[in-house]
C-alpha cells in the first residue's frame, strides 16, 4: 500500500495537477474506491492536495517556484501549444523580452532566425537562442535563481528600466482573480513589474493549471497587461474577465 501511494505522489508531482480519470488510467489495477481512499489518506498526510475531480501537487498549490527541469515536465503539451500561439505575435525587428520559466523557454526554442533584439533574464532561454544568427540577445546581470535558472536582483531591474520593449512575454507561477498574477520570489516579481512598465505590449504565458492558485508576491493584475496566451483548458470565467477589460486572449483551441 505504501509503495502504491508513493507512486501516486510521484505521479501527481510530475504532472502538477491530475484528474481522477488520469489516475485511473495510470493505475488500472487499482479500484476506484481504493484510489479515493489513497487520495484521502495522502491529503491528510499533506503529501498532495485533493481537489474536485482529482489532485494537485503540494508545490503547485502553495505556489513554490520549483526547479525549472521539473516544471518543464508538467503540462508539456500545453506549454508547447502556448509557445506556438505566442509565436504569432512576433514580427521582425521587434525588441522583445522573454521572462524566465518553462513556457517562455518553450517559446525561445521556436523563435525563427530573423532580426530581433531579444532581452531575457533566463539562462535556459539564452541556451535556446544561441542557435540564432540574425538576432541580438541581451542578458542583464544579477544573481542566479537556481530554481528558475534566471538572473534577478537590483542590477537587472536597473538595466531593464532603460530599455523600451515592443513586446514582452511574462511567465507566472499562479493566477487568481483576487491576487492577480503572482510568483514565489520578491526579486522575480520586481523584475516582472519593471518589464511590464517598459513594454508597449505585454502578454502572460500561462497554462490553465495555474488558475486558482496563489503565490507570495503579486506582480500584475489583468488591468496591467495586454493579454493572456493559454491552452484550450483556460476557464471561461478567466477569458470573460479578459474580454470585459478589452484584453486579448490567445488559446490553442
Task: Identify the pLDDT of residue 74.
Answer: 56
Q: Of all residues in the chain, what percent carry a pLDDT higher than 70?
A: 92
pLDDT band at 21 (very low <50, low <70, confident <90, very high): confident
Q: Which residue has the higher pLDDT, 76 or 26?
A: 26
pLDDT band at 253 (very low <50, low <70, confident <90, very high): very low
Query: Does residue 64 register a pLDDT over 80?
Result: no
Query: Does residue 61 register a pLDDT over 60?
Result: no
Task: Identify the pLDDT of residue 142.
Answer: 86
User: What is the DSSP pairing of strand 143-145 with strand 150-152?
Assistant: antiparallel
Task: Identify the pLDDT of residue 104.
Answer: 94
Task: Identify the pLDDT of residue 65.
Answer: 52
Task: Identify the pLDDT of residue 233.
Answer: 86
170-225 tens-digit pLDDT: 999 889 888 999 987 888 899 999 999 999 999 999 988 888 877 779 999 999 99
**Is 105 buried (19+), middle (13-18) or exposed (0-12) by CB count in 10 A?**
buried
| Distance of alpha carbon 37 from alpha carbon 32, whole angstroms | 9
Task: Identify the pLDDT of residue 75.
Answer: 61
Q: Which residue has the higher pLDDT, 44 or 68?
A: 44
Q: Taking all residues of the chain, what is their mean pLDDT, rounded to a whole number?
A: 88
Closest CA to 80 of 202, 232, 238, 235: 232
DSSP secondary structure code for residue 48 in this structure: S
User: What is the DSSP pairing of strand 117-120 with strand 95-98?
Assistant: parallel
| Distance of alpha carbon 141 from alpha carbon 225, whole angstroms | 25
Instruction: Provide the strand spans (E) within 90-220.
Output: 95-98, 117-120, 136-138, 143-145, 150-152, 165-171, 174-176, 180-183, 199-205, 217-220
Q: What is the mean pLDDT of residues 34-63?
A: 80
Query: Does residue 29 register a pLDDT over 60?
Result: yes
Lowest mean pLDDT among 19-23, 138-142, 143-147, 240-244: 143-147
| Distance of alpha carbon 236 from alpha carbon 168, whole angstroms | 24
- For residue 143, give every residue at least 6 positions away whose Cβ sits within 8 Å of its Cβ, in sequence order, or none: 151, 152, 153
79-121 tens-digit pLDDT: 889 999 999 999 999 999 999 988 999 999 999 999 999 999 9
| Residue 136 and residue 116 in contact, taking contact as beta carbons nearer than 8 Å | yes
Q: What is the mean pLDDT of residues 12-33?
A: 86
- What pTM did the predictor assign? 0.74
Amino acid at each position: 500500500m505504501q509503495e502504491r501511494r508513493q507512486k501516486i505522489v510521484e505521479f501527481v508531482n510530475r504532472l502538477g495537477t491530475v484528474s481522477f480519470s488520469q489516475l485511473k488510467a495510470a493505475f488500472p489495477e487499482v479500484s476506484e474506491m481504493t484510489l479515493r481512499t489513497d487520495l484521502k489518506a495522502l491529503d491528510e498526510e499533506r503529501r498532495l492536495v485533493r481537489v474536485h475531480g482529482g489532485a494537485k501537487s503540494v508545490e503547485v498549490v502553495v505556489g513554490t517556484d520549483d526547479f525549472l527541469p521539473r516544471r518543464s515536465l508538467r503540462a508539456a503539451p500545453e506549454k508547447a501549444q502556448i509557445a506556438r500561439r505566442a509565436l504569432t505575435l512576433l514580427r521582425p525587428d521587434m525588441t522583445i523580452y522573454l521572462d524566465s520559466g518553462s513556457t517562455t523557454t518553450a517559446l525561445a526554442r521556436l523563435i525563427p532566425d530573423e532580426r530581433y533584439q531579444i532581452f531575457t533574464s533566463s539562462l535556459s532561454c539564452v541556451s535556446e537562442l544561441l542557435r540564432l544568427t540574425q538576432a541580438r540577445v541581451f542578458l542583464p546581470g544579477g544573481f542566479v535563481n537556481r530554481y528558475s535558472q534566471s538572473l534577478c536582483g537590483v542590477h537587472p531591474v536597473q538595466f531593464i528600466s532603460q530599455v523600451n520593449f515592443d513586446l514582452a512575454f511574462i511567465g507566472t507561477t499562479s493566477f487568481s482573480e483576487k491576487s492577480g498574477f503572482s510568483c514565489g520570489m520578491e526579486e522575480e516579481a520586481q523584475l516582472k513589474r519593471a518589464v511590464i512598465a517598459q513594454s508597449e505590449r505585454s502578454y502572460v504565458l500561462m497554462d490553465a493549471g495555474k488558475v486558482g492558485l496563489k503565490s507570495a508576491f503579486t506582480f500584475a493584475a489583468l488591468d496591467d497587461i495586454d493579454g493572456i496566451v493559454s491552452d484550450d483548458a483556460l476557464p471561461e470565467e478567466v477569458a470573460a474577465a479578459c474580454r470585459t477589460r478589452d484584453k486579448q486572449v490567445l488559446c490553442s483551441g
